[in-house]
Amino acid sequence: MTARERHSALVEAMIADGTLTDAALITTFRSVPRHRFIPETGALTSYGTALNANSNPERWLAAIYADNAIVTQVEAPGALGHRSPEPRAEAARAEGVTSCSSAPTVLARLLELADLANGQRVLEVGTGTGWNTALLAHRLGDGAVTSLEIEPHVAGAAREALRTEGYSPAVHVADGYGGYPPDAPYDRVVSACGLRRLPPAWLEQLRPDGLVVCPWGLLEGAGVLARLECPGDGSARGGFHGGVGFVPLRVPGRTTEPVRDAGQQPDEYRLTQEDPVAPLLAFPSAFALSVMVPDWRVRRRWIGTGSGVWVCDAEGLSWVRVYPYGTSWMIEQGGPRSIWDEFEEALRLWGELGEPQPDRFGLSVEPDGAHRVWLDSPDGRNWPV
């Protein structure tokens, strides 16, 4: 299949499954092909397969028009905080992904939720490859779009791709956390970068009754799309809409170390016959645990007896190690918090509530900056972030 045929098939599939419904967005997606914004060399599939349009054009095109993210930048192996413009396959599935082209259905859902209309001004956080920037510019016009990218070489490549395709929105090298005051106010803020907390600058730079649409999540791999209505008083409120993967927004002063089993000796051992790992890996239960149990991270852990997990709190002071032990599972925990006990209590509550799916939850941000996640209604059961 040619690039044009693959592009057409992708768009028609998104229309058929109900992902794309807005007529103007359908026209936009038909007019802006994804492959024009993916580098011919140096990118990776989400599974770590290297892509090269010169040596294997068929694989390159097939990956681009599959409904998956394309990784375009990762942390340099062994050098936390240093970014490499050339991804490496061994890092593709690690925490180190710092830039990617989001899966087509994710961008379609993001833009559908944004309820775009002629005359609006949009702030995009995370230019990345420039594909979403081009979609916004086609839909609203170049002058209506301000896009922010923290990496200068990523912004430069996106500008070049946009120019080649005939688009000239404003692309600035800037920290998206602070928004972009010179072009404010905006009617919409759309971000492909995932958040834990809504940056105050975004709310300050929105017009009253504006929208923020972005990935949100407290746990890697258990994110959702959030559509937040912002009345203009510094508050925001809205629901979650299905699962999504994302590259986290880089927050000033916050450096997240990779999750690693530190080899501590446990304070407590226990054996269980039920699989304790499954609730941490299944999306609905993992999302609920991320909301109900504060400040924890998880990573798969491989040992001689099989595949388990390592869980720790933000400081690494409290932790849980889980692994197969004969026909049972061994759970070891240590530190001042009993994280596994908190998991068990949260799973019990989740079951009592009917095992609610993530789209029954939502987020409220108060004018004083307080964040809380709620179930079914802003006035319902809620948990502070």
CA–CA distance, 175 with 198 (Å, rounded to integer): 14
pLDDT in tens, 246-290: 667 766 655 556 677 878 899 999 999 999 999 998 999 999 999
Smallest CA-to-CA distance from 43 within 84, 80, 2 is with: 84
Neighbours of 317 (CB within 10 A): 12
Q: Is 122:188 a contact under the CB 8 Å cutoff?
A: yes
CA angle 314, 196, 120 (to 5 degrees): 165
Residue 75 is predicted with a pLDDT of: 61
Per the annotation, the verdict on 102 as an active-site residue is yes
CA angle 94, 190, 151 (to 5 degrees): 50
Answer yes or no: is pLDDT of 104 > 90: yes
Torsions phi, psi for 280 (to 5 deg)? -80, -15
Rg (CA), the chain: 21
CA–CA distance, 206 with 230 (Å, rounded to integer): 8
Residues of the chain above pLDDT 70, percent: 90
Q: Side-chain half-sphere of 279: how many Cα atoms within 13 Å?
A: 19
Q: Is 232:203 a contact under the CB 8 Å cutoff?
A: no
* Cα distances (Å, whole numbers) of residue 89 to 35, 128, 275, 357: 20, 19, 31, 33
CATH fold of the domain at 3-248: Rossmann fold (3.40.50)
Q: Is 36:164 a contact under the CB 8 Å cutoff?
A: yes
The active-site residue, picked from 101, 102, 235, 285, is 102
What's the mean per-residue pLDDT of the chain?
A: 90
pLDDT in tens, 16-54: 999 999 999 999 999 999 999 999 998 999 888 999 999
Residue 85 is predicted with a pLDDT of: 38
Domain 268-352 class in CATH: alpha beta
Instruction: Assess whether the previous peptide bond of 185 is cis (omega < 30° from 0).
Output: yes
Residue 92 is predicted with a pLDDT of: 35
Q: Return the structure tokens found at 363.
A: 């987020």
pLDDT in tens, 282-297: 999 999 999 999 999 9
Predicted confidence band of residue 89 (pLDDT cuts 50, 70, 90): very low
* Cα distances (Å, whole numbers) of residue 341 to 274, 288, 331, 338, 346: 15, 15, 11, 5, 9
Q: Is 129:158 a contact under the CB 8 Å cutoff?
A: yes
Answer yes or no: is pLDDT of 91 > 60: no
Residue 247 is predicted with a pLDDT of: 67
Torsions phi, psi for 7 (to 5 deg)? -60, -45
Neighbours of 181 (CB within 10 A): 10
Residue 72 is predicted with a pLDDT of: 85
How would you list the strands of the sheet with 122-125, edge to edge?
170-173, 145-149, 122-125, 186-191, 206-216, 223-230, 236-244, 361-365, 371-375, 382-384
Residue whose token pair is 């710092």: 98
Predicted confidence band of residue 120 (pLDDT cuts 50, 70, 90): very high
Average pLDDT over residues 323-343: 96
Burial bucket for residue 16 (CB in 10 Å: 0-12, 13-18, 19+)? exposed
- List the domain boundaries for the chain: 3-248, 268-352
pLDDT in tens, 171-216: 999 999 999 999 999 999 999 888 999 999 999 999 999 999 999 9
CA–CA distance, 215 with 251 (Å, rounded to integer): 15
Torsions phi, psi for 30 (to 5 deg)? -65, -25
Residue 22 is predicted with a pLDDT of: 98
